Chains A and B, each alone.
Chain A
Amino acid sequence: MQDNQWPLWEVFIQSKSGQPYKHCGSVHAPDGAMALENARDVYTRRNEGTSIWVVPAQYIIASTPEEVGEFFDPANDKVYRHPTFYTLPPEVKYI
Chain B
Amino acid sequence: MPELTQQELETRFQKKIDDNLYIEPKDWMLDKYRKNLLRQISQHAHSEVVGMLPEANWITRAPNLRRKAALLAKIQDEAGHGLYLYSAAETLGSSREEILNAFLTGKAKYSSIFNYPTLTWADIGAIGWLVDGAAIINQVMLQRASYGPYARAMIRICREESFHQRQGYEIMLTLCRGTAEQKAMAQDALNRWWWPSLMMFGPHDKDSPNTGDMTKWRVKRESNDELRQKFIDRTVPQADFLGITMPDKDLKWNETTQHYDHGEIDWKEFNDVISGHGPCNRERMSARIKAHNDGKWVRDAATAYANKKVHKVKSL
CB-based nearest A residue for B80: A42
The one of A4, A41, A46, A65 that contacts B299, using a Cβ cutoff of 8 Å: A4
B302 engages A6 (CB within 8 Å): yes
Q: How large is the interface on B (under 10, 10 to 19, 20 to 34, 35 or more residues)?
A: 20 to 34
Q: How far is the CA of A4 from the CA of B97 in the complex (A)?
A: 7
B299 engages A67 (CB within 8 Å): no
Q: How far is the CA of A95 from the CA of B153 in the complex (A)?
A: 43
CB-CB contacts of A65-95 with B at 8 A, as 1s and 0s?
A: 1110110000000000000000000000000
Q: Give chain B interface residues in 100-146, CB to chain A under 8 Å.
A: 100
The one of B28, B77, B153, B299 that contacts A3, using a Cβ cutoff of 8 Å: B299
A25 engages B84 (CB within 8 Å): yes
Set of chain B residues within 8 Å of A41, measured between Cβ atoms = 80
CB-CB contacts of B66-103 with A at 8 A, as 1s and 0s?
A: 00000001001100100110011010000111001000
The size of the chain A interface, using a CB distance under 8 A, is 27
Q: Give chain A interface residues in 8-39, CB to chain B under 8 Å.
A: 8, 24-31, 34
Q: How far is the CA of A8 from the CA of B87 in the complex (A)?
A: 9
Set of chain B residues within 8 Å of A66, measured between Cβ atoms = 1, 28
> Chain A interface mostly helix, strand, loop or mixed?
mixed
Set of chain B residues within 8 Å of A6, measured between Cβ atoms = 299, 302-303
A27 engages B77 (CB within 8 Å): no
CB-based nearest A residue for B3: A66
Q: Does B291 contact A (CB under 8 A)?
A: no
B1 engages A1 (CB within 8 Å): no
B24 engages A65 (CB within 8 Å): yes
> CB within 8 Å of B: which residues of A?
1, 3-6, 8, 24-31, 34, 41-43, 45-46, 62, 64-67, 69-70
> CB within 8 Å of A: which residues of B?
1, 24, 26-28, 73, 76-77, 80, 83-84, 87-88, 90, 95-97, 100, 152-153, 156, 160, 296, 299-300, 302-306, 309
